[in-house]
Each structure stands twice: as structure tokens, then as C-alpha cells.
Amino acid sequence: MSRPPLPPFDEASAREKVRLAEDGWNSRDPAKVALAYTEDTRWRNRAEFPEGRDEARQFLERKWAKELDYRLIKELWAFGGNRIAVRYAYEYHDDSGNWFRAYGNENWEFADDGLMQRRHASINEHPIAEADRLFRWPLGRRPDDHPGLSELGL
């Protein structure tokens, strides 16, 4: 199984890889998203360290059970060889209706087949008022005409 675009990345293929990852995460489908990672993938996500595709899938199941109406935007930061760095922001609410915006950076490393083998994420979040939300497209893929992080001043 391969997951194009494949490394080594140029700017166009790195941007495509970032958008495909954003689209996948915005699907909020843990089983589908987990298929973008190697069987032996290793993650660092806040204080959690999933190892392997199955643990990554379980992590995503827990995440999206708590982070409701999740919407994410990723933006390419840097790339080289088989690595890509991104910055991102996402909005969600909890089961009490409290809204949050999270900001983060990820460093990705890919296997030759285009599957992600390493994902290191650093994330901070803060509460926002519902009226301050910026990510207001219907659940699922961000529309092509919706502003990205830079256009939103984030």
C-alpha cells in the first residue's frame, strides 16, 4: 500500500500532503485516518505517546468523542526530504457547549511508501466564545474558498 504523494517532497507535493492530512482529520473517521500511518507509527501528542496504527486509531476515537464539531486547518511550515513541518489550528466544543481553539505545530516523517511513521505534535488551547469562532464551514472537508490560517491572521 502506498499513500501518494511520496517523498522526497517538493513544495507542491508537501502542500498536497498537508491538505490531504487536513481533509482526513476533518472527516473525524479514526479508522480511515489511521490508514495514513505505518503499522509501527510513533506519535507524541501532548502527554500521550501512541505507538502503532491501532493505538493511533484508539487515540483518535477518544479525541473526537470529546472534541465535538471539530474543524481543523493545517498550513505547510517547512519541508525537506521525507519530512514536513506544519502549523495548525482547530476549533471544537466539549459536551457542555464550551468552545475552544487549539494551536499547534507538528513534525512529520514519512516512509518511502508515503505513510507517516512519526508524528510529533505540540498543542496549546484556550477557551473562546461561540461568537469568536472562525471555522464555520459544514462538518467535513474545509471548502477550497475558506481562508487558511495566514488569511485568518492566525
pLDDT of amino acid 72: 98
Mean pLDDT of 134-139: 98
Provide the 3-class DSSP secondary structure of residue 76.
strand
C-alpha–C-alpha distance, residues 34 and 39, integer Å: 9
| Tens digit of each residue's pLDDT (9 = 90 or more) over 28-60 | 999 999 999 999 999 999 999 999 999 999 999
* Side-chain-facing half-sphere of 3: CA atoms under 13 Å: 21
Its pTM stands at: 0.97
Q: Write out the three cell numbers for 3.
A: 499513500
pLDDT of residue 57: 98
Query: Which residue segments constitute the domains of the chain, with CATH numbers given?
Result: 11-132 (3.10.450.50)
Whether residue 1 has pLDDT greater than 90: no
Q: Cα(64)–Cα(14) distance, rounded to whole angstroms?
A: 26
Percent over 70 (pLDDT), the chain: 100
